[in-house]
Amino acid sequence: MQILKFDKNIDLLSINNGNPRFKLIGMLDGDACLQLKNRFNFLNISEVILSVIIIKFFEDSWELTGNLQAQITQSCVVTGKPVKEILDIELEERYVLQNKSVSVINEINVGAPHIEVLETSMLEIGELIAQIIGVEAESFPKIKNAPEAQCFGSQDKKVNPFDKLAVFKK
């Protein structure tokens, strides 16, 4: 398993019909984990392991399949105590290089994996990992048995949705 830096790039054009499969298995280094921790305001992130295969399936089109694992610690939104989360995400992404023949995607298949149109042939591995973790990590982490509380208001105060209109009443 190789050590991955956040700025790791893969030139998708190097994956061609002569070598149609590219396999990458690696773990993010400490600096990359620190970047993710700061970007998402995690208490900690570690053991970020990416295991993918990229296949060229058509001219200027690639499919990425595999798995992303990570251990994340965030603050509980109710108590502020640490909440640990283990991510184990199955990946299925498709990439199409923007060019003259693929200027617009005319048809969208809702059952197909996400298709991302790339402006360059470089796939940024660090950004791929960051976007997946940003979407998949718990948005409002809460420890088990935390008291029920509203994060954005108090249960004691009854709010009338028309209170703000009272200032206009004469």
Sequence length of the chain is 170
Q: 124: part of which helix (H) or strand (E)? A: strand 122-124
Residue 119 has a pLDDT of 85
* Distance between CA atoms of residues 45 and 74, nearest Å: 9
Q: Give dist(CA 69, CA 138) in Å, integer.
A: 14
Q: Give me the residue spans of the domains in the chain.
A: 2-168
R_g of the chain computed on alpha carbons: 22
Q: How far apart are CA 94 and CA 97, in angstroms?
A: 10
Paired tokens of 68 = 């992303």
What pLDDT score was predicted for residue 103?
A: 45
pLDDT of res. 104: 44
Kindly list the averaged pLDDT for each block of 10 residues, start to end, along the chain of length 170. 88 76 90 94 94 87 92 90 94 82 48 74 91 91 73 57 71
Residue 47: the pLDDT is 93
Q: Token pair for residue 154? A: 């108090």
Candidates 112, 66, 68, 58; CA nearest to 88 is 68
Residue 115 DSSP class: E
